[in-house]
Amino acid sequence: MTATTVQNYTLVITGAPYSSQAPQTALLFAKAAVAAGHTVDRVFLYGDGVHLASSLSSPPSDESHWADQWGNFLSDNDIPGVACIASALRRGLIDESEQKRYELPASNLREPFIIAGLGEWVEGTMASSRVLYFHAGD
Amino acid sequence: MAQIHTLHILNKAPEHPRSGECLRSLNPGDALLLIENAVLALATPGELTAGIPVYALSPDVLARGLAQTARKASLVDFPAMVELTAQAQKVISW
Amino acid sequence: MSTLIVIDQPPYGAWAGREALDMAFSLAAFDQPVALLFTGAGVNWLRKSQETMGIEQKSVERNLSAAPVFGVEAIYADATACALYGLVPDSMVAGVAIAESSAEVIRQHSHTAFAG
Residue type, position A85, single letter: I
B1, pLDDT greater than 70: no
- Model confidence at B15, in pLDDT bands (50, 70, 90)? very high
Chain B residues lying within 8 Å of A4, measured CB to CB: 83, 86-87
User: Which of helix, strand or coil describes residue C86?
Assistant: coil
CA C24 to chain centre: 9
pTM score over 0.80: yes
CA–CA distances in Å: residue A66 to residues A31, A39, B25, B85: 14, 21, 33, 24
A78-114 tens-digit pLDDT:
999 999 999 999 999 999 999 999 999 999 999 999 9
For the cut 50, the answer to whether the pLDDT of residue A1 exceeds it is no
B-contacting chains (≥3 CB pairs under 8 Å): A, C
- If one counts every other C-beta atom within 10 angstroms of the C-beta of residue A59, the result is 13
**DSSP helix/strand/coil, C47:** strand
Quick check: helix, strand or coil at residue B13? coil
Could you tell me which residues are beta bridge partners of residue A114? A82
Q: Which range has the worst mean pLDDT, A92-106, B44-58, C35-49, C82-96?
A: B44-58
pLDDT, residue C115, reads 85
Through-space distance between the first and last CA atoms of chain C, rounded to whole angstroms = 22
Give the mean pLDDT of chain A: 96
Q: What are phi and psi of A105, to 5 degrees?
A: -75, -15
Q: What is the mean pLDDT of residues B51-69?
A: 94
> Per the residue annotation, which of A22, A84, A89, A94 is the catalytic one?
A84
**Best residue in C37, C76, C80, C106 to probe B by mutation, most B CBs within 10 Å?**
C106
Amino acid identity, residue C92?
M
The answer on pLDDT for B37 being more than 70 is yes
Q: With 0-12 CB in 10 A as exposed, 13-18 as middle and 19+ as buried, what is C90?
A: exposed
Sheet holding A39-45, edge to edge: A114-116, A81-84, A39-45, A8-13, A130-134
Per-residue pLDDT tens digits for A27-52: 999 999 999 999 999 999 999 999 99
pLDDT tens-place string over residues C56-113: 999 999 999 999 999 999 999 999 999 999 999 999 999 999 999 999 999 999 999 9
Q: Which CATH architecture has domain B4-93?
A: 3-Layer(aba) Sandwich (3.40)
Mean pLDDT, all residues of chain C: 96
Instruction: Check CB contact under 8 Å for C113 and A46.
Output: no
**Residues A47, C27: C-beta atoms closer than 8 Å:** no
Does A87 qualify as catalytic in the annotation? no
**Phi, psi at B6, each rounded to 5°:** -120, 130
B interface toward C at CB cutoff 8 Å?
A: 6, 17-18, 21, 24-25, 27, 90, 92-94
Residue type, position C44, single letter? N
DSSP labels for A98-126?
A: HHHHHT-S---BPTT-EEE-THHHHHHHH
Q: What average pLDDT does range A46-74 have in this prediction?
A: 97
Partners of A135 on chain C (C-beta within 8 Å) are 114, 116
pLDDT band at B11 (very low <50, low <70, confident <90, very high): very high
Report pLDDT for C62. 92
- Span A65-79, mean pLDDT? 97
Best B36, B61, B62, B94 member to test A by mutation, with max A CBs in 10 Å, is B36
d(CA A100, nearest CA chain B) in Å: 37
pLDDT at B2 > cutoff 70: no
Q: Where are the domains of chain C?
A: 3-49+56-114
End-to-end distance of chain B based on CA atoms, in angstroms?
A: 22
Which CATH number does C3-49+56-114 carry? 3.40.1260.10
Q: How confident is the model at residue B58 (pLDDT cuts 50, 70, 90)?
A: very high
Taking the Cβ of residue A64 and every Cβ of chain C, the question of whether any pair is shorter than 8 Å is answered with no
User: Interhelix angle for B78-87 vs A22-35, to 10°?
Assistant: 80
Band (pLDDT 50/70/90 cuts) for residue A2 is low
ipTM rounded to 2 decimals: 0.96
Contact: B83, A21; criterion CB under 8 Å: no
What are the tens digits of pLDDT across the range B83-93?
999 999 999 99
Answer yes or no: are the C-beta atoms of A45 and A87 closer than 8 Å: yes
- DSSP for A33-72, please give it: HHHTT-EEEEEEE-GGGGGGGBTT----TTS--HHHHHHH
Q: Which of A28, A31, A137 lies closest to B37 in CB terms?
A: A137
Report yes or no: C19 and A46 within 8 Å, Cβ to Cβ: yes
Which of A10, A20, A118 to probe by mutation at the C interface, max C CB count within 10 Å?
A118
String of b and e for A100-138 (b: at least 16 CB within 10 Å)?
eeeeeeeebbbeebebbebebbbbbbeebebbbbbbbbe
